Structure 1
Amino acid sequence: MAVAAAIGFPLGVLSHRNENLRSAVLPILSFLQTIPSLAMFGIMIPILAWVGTTVPGARELGVAGIGFLPAFLALVIYSLLPVVANTVAGLEAAPPAAMDAARGMGMTRNQRLLQVQLPLGLPVMLAGIRIVLVQNIGLAVIAGLIGGGGFGTFVFQGLNQTATDLILLGALPTVALALISAITMDILVELAQPNTMRHQ
């Protein structure tokens, strides 16, 4: 998630400022979001396997068709749309009156971004992070099919062995983690609301 945020937030800011970039980025990310997770893993496996076998030093760095890397890259790709889209929406949420007041005070474009748009748009941006967190927790379970590790390993081992205890060992912590993450992010979104909106 941190990688997706590090890529998505700057990309969202740039997309907010550049209409042409936004028109290109959001449809591409929307298309990638529609690819089923198993299909995405299937696309990643041969590509990374080829890179691992043909690029010198790639295998030593852990590049392989099966394992952590394809799962990680797929999760990053799926995370970008909520982060970028909510960043754009959050920056556009600043009231025109607030932006006019900031211009009247002589604030530069970057000052308006940091002191007006980001604080006012933070709840919307955090809502995007909430989507990413809950989504990735579920997708990480499916990544167990390709050796991505995590709780998905227990779930699929349990399914293969018809072992209910193994399935629950993977499923219950996943549900708990998703629930805790969602509640935590809901609290952060509420705390990020401007005081006037929080008390309405």
Structure 2
Amino acid sequence: MSDAMLKMAGEADDALARCLLTLCIDDADIMMAALLKGADDARAVLTSLVMSMQDMPQPGRDEGMRILERDLALGIARWGCTLRPRTRERFVQAVERWHARLASLPSANPDSLRAWLTADGAYTLLTPGDEAWPGGFSDLDVRSDYAPPVCLWVRGDAGALTACAEPLAVVGSRGMNDYGREVTSAVAEEACLAGHTVVSGG
């Protein structure tokens, strides 16, 4: 499978690479954000990550890990920070988790993966630079060492994400009661009537 994975990484476009990197992480991941800040592009990160997997030949594994560590250090330096020994230890542990997730992919075929990742076109995949990419994400990794999304999956009209200059998110608890449902509905309706796009996180 290692040769097929390496071939897939080489054939991946930016969107597929970002999608696969998102599958590697649990949530906003500062290590992945640093890698993407330090590397040429998402495809380069994916290729280095695949190269460094356990079932790859040793020289390729070593080279892949060397490139990942270089890009991590460069990304951290671009934030004005330095790579600490403890950060390197955590990074090696993170890479092991990412390897396991890549190894569990259902296929190494780029077309099959695209179909799987978008539920056969039910979701639109957005990456930075797309017209519908929300501008509010653009400075998350500029102001500080925050981790912006690697990509977004959108169901419905992706243009709605940028159709409003002041979108609102309605956030609440998971255990909503009837009163909370009424208030939330009223707040969302008033926001829509005032011209805001209401976005939800879940």
Q: TM-score range by the shorter chain?
A: under 0.3
**Higher alpha-carbon Rg:** 1
TM-score between the two structures when normalised by the length of structure 1: 0.23
- Greater helix proportion: 1
- Greater strand proportion: 2
TM-score between the two structures when normalised by the length of structure 2: 0.23
